[in-house]
Structure 1
Amino acid sequence: MEENKIENSKTTIRTPIIVGTTLVVGILIGATFFGGRRAGSDVSRSSTKFKEILTYINRSYVDSVDTDSLVDYSITKMLEKLDPHTYYFPPEEASIARSQLESGFDGIGIEFNVFNDTVYVVTPLAGGPSESVGIQSGDAIIKANNKSLTGKESNSTNIFANLRGKRGSEAKLEIKRRGFKDLLKFTVVRDKIPQYSIDAAYLMEDKKTAYIKINRFTETTYVEFKQHLSALQTQGMKQLMLDLRGNPGGYMDRATDIVDELVGGNDVIVYTDGKDSRNNRKTFAGKDGMFEKGSVIVLVDEGSASASEIVSGALQDYDRALIVGRRTFGKGLVQQPIQLSDGSELRLTISRYYIPSGRSIQKPYTKGHLDNYEHELEDRSKSGEYFIADSIKNNPKMRFKTKGGRVVYGGGGVTPDVFVPRDTSHITKYLLELYGKNVIREYALNYANDNRKTLEKQTFNSFLKNFEVSEPMLEKVKQLANSAEIMFNATDYNLSKAFIKLQIKASIARHIWQRNVKNGLNNEFYQIIYEQDPIVATAMKQFGKAEKLR
Structure 2
Amino acid sequence: MANPESSKGTVLEGISRIKEILFQIDQNYVEEVDSEELVNSAIEGMLKKLDPHTSYIPAKDLEMVSADLRGNYEGIGIEFNIFKDTLYVVAPLSGGPSESAGLQSGDKIISVNGENIAGIGLTNRQVHEYLRGEKGSEVEVSILRRNADAPMQYTIVRDKIPQFSVDASYMVDDEIGYIKVSRFSATTYTEFIEALKDLKSKGLQKLILDLQDNPGGYMDKAISMADEFLSNNAMIVYTKGKEKRFNSEARAIKEGIFEKSPLIVLINEGSASASEIVSGAIQDNDRGLIVGRRSFGKGLVQMPIPLQDGSELRLTISKYYTPSGRSIQKPFGETPAEYQKEMLQRYEHGEYFVADSIQFADSLKYTTEKGRVVYGGGGIMPDYFVALDTAANSDYLNKLFYSNSLRQYTFSYHERNKKMLENMGKEDYISNFEVTDTMLSDLMKLAESNDVKFDSAQFEKSKKLIKIYTKAYIARNVWNNEGFYPIINQQNEIFKEALKLFDRAETLAKK
Superposition TM-score, scaled by structure 2 size:
0.97
Cα distance in 2, alignment partners of residues 360 and 191 from structure 1: 42
Cα distance in 2, alignment partners of residues 35 and 538 from structure 1: 56
- One of 239, 242, 248 as aligned partner of 1:281: 248
Partner of 2:391: 425
Deviations 1:76-112 (A, max 9, x none): 1111111111111122222111111002100000000
Does 2:315 correspond to 1:356?
Answer: no
Does 2:202 correspond to 1:202?
Answer: no
Q: How many pairs were matched up?
A: 508
Does 2:97 correspond to 1:129?
Answer: yes
- One of 33, 47, 71 as aligned partner of 1:65: 33
- One of 11, 16, 20 as aligned partner of 1:43: 11
Q: What is the letter of the counterpart of residue 268 of structure 1?
A: M
Deviation of 1:457 (Å): 1.4
Does 2:267 correspond to 1:300?
Answer: yes
Compare relative contact order (CA 8 Å, sep 6+) and give the higher one, 1 or 2: 1
Aligned to 2:43, the other structure's residue is in SS state helix
Deviations 1:389-421 (A, max 9, x none): 111122321110000100000111100111111
Does 2:279 correspond to 1:320?
Answer: no
CA shift in 2, pair 1:118/1:434, >3 Å: same
- One of 201, 205, 216 as aligned partner of 1:249: 216
Does 2:431 correspond to 1:465?
Answer: yes
Deviations 1:189-212 (A, max 9, x none): 1100001100011110x2111100
Deviation of 1:152 (Å): 3.1
Alpha-carbon RMSD: 1.3
- One of 495, 501, 507 as aligned partner of 1:548: 507
Deviation of 1:38 (Å): 2.0
Equivalences for 1:158-169 in 2 at 5 Å?
158-169=126-137
Aligned to 1:232, the other structure's residue is in SS state helix
Cα distance in 1, alignment partners of residues 485 and 168 from structure 2: 7
Does the 8 Å CA contact 2:270/2:295 hold for their aligned counterparts?
A: yes
Partner of 1:397: 363
Partner of 1:84: 52
Q: What is the letter of the counterpart of residue 123 of structure 2?
A: N
- One of 155, 159, 162 as aligned partner of 1:187: 155
Partner of 2:178: 211
CA shift in 2, pair 1:67/1:241, >3 Å: same
Partner of 2:497: 538
Cα distance in 2, alignment partners of residues 541 and 373 from structure 1: 35
Cα distance in 1, alignment partners of residues 278 and 62 from structure 2: 27
Equivalences for 1:329-340 in 2 at 5 Å?
329-340=296-307
Deviation of 1:427 (Å): 2.1
Partner of 2:141: 173
Partner of 1:18: none
- One of 378, 392, 403 as aligned partner of 1:437: 403
Aligned to 2:424, the other structure's residue is in SS state coil
Does the 8 Å CA contact 2:71/2:165 hold for their aligned counterparts?
A: no
- One of 373, 387, 403 as aligned partner of 1:407: 373
Deviation of 1:133 (Å): 1.2
Does the 8 Å CA contact 1:122/1:138 hold for their aligned counterparts?
A: yes
Partner of 1:233: 200
Q: What is the letter of the counterpart of residue 451 of structure 1?
A: N
Does the 8 Å CA contact 1:111/1:122 hold for their aligned counterparts?
A: yes
Deviation of 1:35 (Å): 8.4
Deviation of 1:527 (Å): 0.4
Deviations 1:491-537 (A, max 9, x none): 221122211111111111121223xxxxxxx2210001112221111
Does the 8 Å CA contact 1:116/1:437 hold for their aligned counterparts?
A: no
- Between 1:298-307 and 1:357-366, the stretch displaced more is 357-366
Q: What is the letter of the counterpart of residue 319 of structure 1?
A: D
Deviation of 1:423 (Å): 1.1
Cα distance in 2, alignment partners of residues 67 and 38 from structure 1: 30
Q: What is the letter of the counterpart of residue 127 of structure 2?
A: I
Partner of 1:113: 81
Does 2:449 correspond to 1:490?
Answer: no
Does the 8 Å CA contact 1:164/1:190 hold for their aligned counterparts?
A: yes
Cα distance in 2, alignment partners of residues 170 and 120 from structure 1: 20
- One of 452, 455, 465 as aligned partner of 1:499: 465
Cα distance in 2, alignment partners of residues 138 and 244 from structure 1: 32
Cα distance in 2, alignment partners of residues 94 and 180 from structure 1: 39
Deviations 1:124-178 (A, max 9, x none): 0001100111111111111111222222341122111001011111111011111
Does the 8 Å CA contact 1:503/1:529 hold for their aligned counterparts?
A: yes
Aligned to 1:421, the other structure's residue is in SS state coil
Aligned to 2:294, the other structure's residue is in SS state coil
Partner of 2:483: 524
- Runs of 4+ aligned structure 1 residues displaced above 4 Å come to none
Does the 8 Å CA contact 2:239/2:320 hold for their aligned counterparts?
A: yes
Does the 8 Å CA contact 2:235/2:281 hold for their aligned counterparts?
A: no
Q: What is the letter of the counterpart of residue 131 of structure 1?
A: E
Does the 8 Å CA contact 2:234/2:285 hold for their aligned counterparts?
A: no
Deviations 1:407-440 (A, max 9, x none): 0001111001111111112222221121112111
Cα distance in 1, alignment partners of residues 60 and 396 from structure 2: 35
Does the 8 Å CA contact 1:81/1:369 hold for their aligned counterparts?
A: no
Q: What is the letter of the counterpart of residue 425 of structure 1?
A: A
Does the 8 Å CA contact 1:469/1:505 hold for their aligned counterparts?
A: yes
Does the 8 Å CA contact 1:394/1:412 hold for their aligned counterparts?
A: no
Does the 8 Å CA contact 1:297/1:323 hold for their aligned counterparts?
A: yes
* Fraction of identical pairs, as percent: 48
